Chain A
Amino acid sequence: MTYVPDNPLIVQSDLSMLLEVQSSKYADARDELLAFAELVKSPEYVHTWRLTDLSLWNAAAAGHGADAIIETLHRYAKYPVPASVPERIRSVVSRYGALRLVQDGEFLRLESDRPLDLEEVRHLKPVHDLLGDDAGDGVRVHPRRRGELKRLLVSHGHPVEDLVGYEDGDALTMQLTHEAQDHPWSLRDYQLAAVDSFATGPSAGSGVVVLPCGAGKTIVGIAAMVRLGMRTLILCTGHVALQQWKREILARTTLTEDDVGEYSGRARELRNVTLTTYQLLTWRAEKGAEPAHFGLFSEANWGLVIYDEVHMLPAPIFREAAELQARRRLGLTATLVREDGMEGDVFALIGPKRYDLPWKQLERQGWIATARCIEVRVPFSDADRLKYVRSSPRSKFLIASKNPRKGAVLEELLARHKGEPTLVLGAWLDQLEFLSRRFGLPLVTGKTPAAERLEVFDRFRSGEISVLALSKVGNFAIDLPSAAVAVQISGTWGSRQEEAQRLGRVLRPKSGDNQAVFYSLVTTDSREQEIAERRQLFLAEQGYPYRIESAS
Chain B
Amino acid sequence: MRVTSVLQVADAAMWKELAAVLDLDALLAAAVSPLEREASDDAAVLAALHGVGMKPLVRYAHRGSDEVVAAKQVLGQRIRGLRSEVRSVLVSAQRHARDGVARADHAWDPEVDGDAARILMGSGFLAPDVRDGAVVAGSFRLHPDLPPPPDVPYDFADAVMDETEDLPEPSVRLIPLLSDAASVAAALQHKPARRTHAGTVGKTDARALGRQLADEDLQTSGDLETHPRWGRALAALEALGAVSLDPITRELFVDLGLDDVLRGTAEDAVDRFVHKVVDHDLHVVVPAVRHALRQAGPGAVDELVFYELLGEQHRDVLFPPWWRDDHAIYPNPDGGQPRRYDQDGWERVERRMVKVVLKRLERLGLIRRAPGVFAGTPDGRRWAGVDRAPPPPLWVTSDLEVVVPPDALTPWERFQMERLGRCVSRDVVDRYRLDRTYLAHWLSTHELSEALDLLHRRAPGVPAGVVETLTEWARAVTRLVLVRGVLRE
Physical interaction between A and B: yes
User: Which residues of chain A have a CB within 8 Å of any CB of chain B?
Assistant: 3, 5, 10-14, 16, 18, 20, 22, 41, 43-46, 78-79, 82, 377, 382, 385-386, 389-390, 393, 524-525, 529-530, 533, 537, 540-541, 543-548
Contact with A along B286-320 (1 / 0, CB 8 A): 00000000000000000000000000000000000
Interchain CA distance A43-B464 in the complex, whole Å: 13
Q: Write out the residue numbers on chain B whose beta carbons fall within 8 Å of the beta carbon of A543.
A: 398
Q: Write out the residue numbers on chain A whose beta carbons fall within 8 Å of the beta carbon of B395.
A: 20, 45-46
Q: List 30 A-B contacts (CB under 8 A).
A: A3-B406, A11-B428, A13-B427, A16-B427, A18-B429, A41-B399, A43-B398, A44-B397, A45-B459, A45-B460, A79-B405, A79-B428, A377-B472, A386-B20, A389-B17, A389-B21, A525-B476, A525-B479, A530-B436, A533-B436, A537-B399, A540-B398, A540-B465, A544-B398, A545-B464, A546-B465, A546-B469, A547-B464, A548-B469, A548-B472
Interchain CA distance A46-B400 in the complex, whole Å: 12
Interchain CA distance A78-B408 in the complex, whole Å: 14
Interchain CA distance A10-B403 in the complex, whole Å: 11
Interchain CA distance A389-B13 in the complex, whole Å: 14
Interchain CA distance A548-B469 in the complex, whole Å: 8
Q: Write out the residue numbers on chain A whose beta carbons fall within 8 Å of the beta carbon of B400.
A: 537, 540
Tally of A-B Cβ pairs under 8 angstroms: 90
| B contact residues, total (Cβ < 8 Å) | 34
Nearest CB of A to B170, in Å: 16
Interchain CA distance A533-B400 in the complex, whole Å: 10
Interchain CA distance A267-B351 in the complex, whole Å: 101
B488 at interface, CB cutoff 8 A? no
User: What are the 5 tightest A-B residue pairs by CB atom distance, in nearest-first order?
Assistant: A545-B398, A43-B397, A540-B399, A12-B427, A545-B465
Q: Write out the residue numbers on chain A whose beta carbons fall within 8 Å of the beta carbon of B425.
A: 14
- Beyond the given pairs A545-B466, A548-B468, 6 more chain A to chain B contacts, judged by CB atoms under 8 angstroms and listed by A's residue number, are A45-B460, A389-B20, A390-B21, A525-B476, A543-B398, A545-B464
Q: Are B398 and A12 in contact (CB under 8 A)?
A: no
Interchain CA distance A43-B406 in the complex, whole Å: 21
Q: Are A22 and B399 in contact (CB under 8 A)?
A: no
Q: Are A79 and B406 in contact (CB under 8 A)?
A: yes
Q: Are B428 and A82 in contact (CB under 8 A)?
A: yes
Q: Write out the residue numbers on chain A whose beta carbons fall within 8 Å of the beta carbon of B401.
A: 43
Closest to B405 in A: A10
Task: Tell me the B1-59 residues at the A interface (CB within 8 Å).
Answer: 13, 16-17, 20-21, 53
Q: Write out the residue numbers on chain A whose beta carbons fall within 8 Å of the beta carbon of B472.
A: 377, 548
Interchain CA distance A22-B395 in the complex, whole Å: 11
Interchain CA distance A386-B52 in the complex, whole Å: 13
Interchain CA distance A29-B472 in the complex, whole Å: 37
Q: Are B397 and A46 in contact (CB under 8 A)?
A: yes
Closest to B467 in A: A548
Nearest CB of B to A541, in Å: 5
B345 at interface, CB cutoff 8 A? no
Task: Tell me the B396-443 residues at the A interface (CB within 8 Å).
Answer: 396-401, 403, 405-406, 425, 427-429, 436
User: Which residues of chain B have a CB within 8 Å of any CB of chain A?
Assistant: 13, 16-17, 20-21, 53, 392, 395-401, 403, 405-406, 425, 427-429, 436, 459-461, 463-466, 468-469, 472, 476, 479
Q: Are B20 and A10 in contact (CB under 8 A)?
A: no
Q: Write out the residue numbers on chain A whose beta carbons fall within 8 Å of the beta carbon of B397.
A: 43-46, 540
Closest to B464 in A: A547
Interchain CA distance A43-B431 in the complex, whole Å: 14
Q: Are A547 and B428 in contact (CB under 8 A)?
A: no
Interchain CA distance A140-B397 in the complex, whole Å: 53
Q: Write out the residue numbers on chain B whose beta carbons fall within 8 Å of the beta carbon of A46.
A: 395, 397, 403
Q: Are B463 and A12 in contact (CB under 8 A)?
A: no
Interchain CA distance A45-B403 in the complex, whole Å: 10
Closest to B407 in A: A3
Nearest CB of A to B290, in Å: 25
Closest to A43 in B: B397
Q: Are A10 and B429 in contact (CB under 8 A)?
A: yes
Closest to A377 in B: B472
Q: Write out the residue numbers on chain A whose beta carbons fall within 8 Å of the beta carbon of B461.
A: 44-45
Interchain CA distance A524-B472 in the complex, whole Å: 9
Nearest CB of A to B428, in Å: 5
Q: Write out the residue numbers on chain A whose beta carbons fall within 8 Å of the beta carbon of B16.
A: 382, 386
Interchain CA distance A323-B427 in the complex, whole Å: 43
Q: Write out the residue numbers on chain B whose beta carbons fall within 8 Å of the beta carbon of A390.
A: 20-21
Closest to B20 in A: A386
Interchain CA distance A543-B461 in the complex, whole Å: 15
Interchain CA distance A45-B392 in the complex, whole Å: 13
Q: Are A44 and B463 in contact (CB under 8 A)?
A: yes
Nearest CB of A to B214, in Å: 11
Q: Write out the residue numbers on chain B whose beta carbons fall within 8 Å of the beta carbon of A546.
A: 398, 465, 469
Interchain CA distance A540-B425 in the complex, whole Å: 19
Q: Are B469 and A533 in contact (CB under 8 A)?
A: yes
Q: Write out the residue numbers on chain B whose beta carbons fall within 8 Å of the beta carbon of A11.
A: 428
Q: Are A43 and B17 in contact (CB under 8 A)?
A: no
Q: Assuming A46-B403, A393-B53, A525-B476, is B465 touching A547 (CB within 8 A)?
A: yes
Nearest CB of A to B53, in Å: 7
Q: Write out the residue numbers on chain A whose beta carbons fall within 8 Å of the beta carbon of B21.
A: 389-390
Q: Write out the residue numbers on chain A whose beta carbons fall within 8 Å of the beta carbon of B392.
A: 3, 5
Q: Write out the residue numbers on chain B whose beta carbons fall within 8 Å of the beta carbon of A44.
A: 397-398, 461, 463
Q: Write out the residue numbers on chain A whose beta carbons fall within 8 Å of the beta carbon of B460.
A: 22, 45
Q: Write out the residue numbers on chain A whose beta carbons fall within 8 Å of the beta carbon of B427.
A: 12-14, 16, 82
Q: Write out the residue numbers on chain A whose beta carbons fall within 8 Å of the beta carbon of B398.
A: 43-44, 540, 543-546
Q: Write out the residue numbers on chain B whose beta carbons fall within 8 Å of the beta carbon of A18.
A: 403, 429
Closest to A392 in B: B53
Nearest CB of A to B394, in Å: 9
Interchain CA distance A5-B405 in the complex, whole Å: 11
Tell me which of B20, B395, B459, B466 has the highest count of chain A C-beta atoms within 10 A of its own C-beta. Answer: B395
Q: Write out the residue numbers on chain A whose beta carbons fall within 8 Å of the beta carbon of B405.
A: 10, 78-79
Interchain CA distance A45-B395 in the complex, whole Å: 6
Interchain CA distance A359-B101 in the complex, whole Å: 61
Interchain CA distance A79-B459 in the complex, whole Å: 19
Q: Write out the residue numbers on chain A whose beta carbons fall within 8 Å of the beta carbon of B479.
A: 525
Interchain CA distance A533-B427 in the complex, whole Å: 27
Q: Write out the residue numbers on chain B whose beta carbons fall within 8 Å of the beta carbon of A22.
A: 460
Q: Write out the residue numbers on chain B whose beta carbons fall within 8 Å of the beta carbon of A530.
A: 436
Interchain CA distance A10-B428 in the complex, whole Å: 8
Q: Are A386 and B406 in contact (CB under 8 A)?
A: no
Q: Write out the residue numbers on chain B whose beta carbons fall within 8 Å of the beta carbon of A5.
A: 392
Closest to A15 in B: B427
Interchain CA distance A436-B401 in the complex, whole Å: 39
Q: Are B13 and A382 in contact (CB under 8 A)?
A: yes
Interchain CA distance A389-B405 in the complex, whole Å: 43
Nearest CB of B to A221, in Å: 31
Nearest CB of A to B435, in Å: 9
Q: Write out the residue numbers on chain B whose beta carbons fall within 8 Å of the beta carbon of A377.
A: 472
Interchain CA distance A13-B395 in the complex, whole Å: 20
Interchain CA distance A14-B53 in the complex, whole Å: 40
Q: Write out the residue numbers on chain A whose beta carbons fall within 8 Å of the beta carbon of B53.
A: 393
Interchain CA distance A544-B17 in the complex, whole Å: 36
Interchain CA distance A364-B74 in the complex, whole Å: 56
Q: Write out the residue numbers on chain B whose beta carbons fall within 8 Å of the beta carbon of A382.
A: 13, 16
Q: Write out the residue numbers on chain B whose beta carbons fall within 8 Å of the beta carbon of A79.
A: 405-406, 428
Nearest CB of A to B378, in Å: 11
Interchain CA distance A18-B428 in the complex, whole Å: 10
